[in-house]
Amino acid sequence: MLYIVATPIGNLQDITLRAIEILKAADFIIAENPRNSLKLLKHYAIPSKKIVQFAEHNEHKVLPTIISQLSTGDGALITDAGTPGISDPGFRLVRACVEKEIKVVPIPGPDSATAALSASGLPTDRFLFVGFLPRKKTALGKILSLAKDTESTLVGFDSPFRIKKTVELIAKNFPESKIVVARELTKIYEEFIRGTAVEVATELLKRDNVKGEITILISFK
């Protein structure tokens, strides 16, 4: 059996009791970064156990071995932060389990996309999650146009090194849009920058740099 276990995106208290129990009971853990996972297990006093790395650089190599182990035992998939399989290679492991008829059980919890959306103040009845925003202007324009045409709030991730340029492009081409930049969610320096595309672009340009993990939301309603 494979458990998909959501872990904190920042504040370590954001974990469910069920997630802790599953991590304790699992025969082994499948992790994006074993070092980060060891810190998490230690924090919650979870006994040490075998940790198998499953990341973009080795996923195809280790997938057959993990599937073999899951056919006889229970594994818990975790990522560096948040819900596994969301914009990371975890979905390929889930797909392989489904194909092999290995039961997959979600253990829900923290997720930066829905956390940012819930506190954004933008419409939440319909949203379009796109993972990391494309770097190219044309591709970004197509995604924004899709969100506008479908009256969806666009939710995505962006690099702190690109966010200024991204918002400038949006302000130039979609000045009527509303933007929320959610930075460092659940952490000490959590911040929401809200306003029209032009207002948010102006605010970001005042700053020498922008730090931390960023979720960006764009609405046309």
119-129 pLDDT per residue, tens? 999 999 999 99
Residue 198 clears pLDDT 90, i.e. is over it: yes
* Summary mean pLDDT of the chain: 95
Please enumerate in sequence order all residues whose Cβ is within 8 A of that of 206, keeping only pairs 6 or more positions apart, or say none: none
Spatial CA neighbour of 130 closest among 109, 145, 108: 145
Report the CATH number at residue 95: 3.40.1010.10
Classify each residue of 29-65 as buried b or exposed e, where b means 16 or more C-beta atoms within 10 Å of its C-beta.
bbbbebeebeebbeeeebeeeebbbbbeeebeebeee
CB-based burial label for 189 (10 Å; 0-12, 13-18, 19+): exposed
pTM of the entire predicted model:
0.91
pLDDT in tens, 4-38: 999 999 999 999 999 999 999 999 999 989 988 99
Do 90 and 19 have their domain in common? yes
Do 93 and 139 have their domain in common? no
d(CA 122, CA 104): 33
* Domain C-terminal end among 66, 84, 107: 107
Whole-number pLDDT of residue 216: 98
Residue range(s) defining the domain that contains residue 68:
2-107
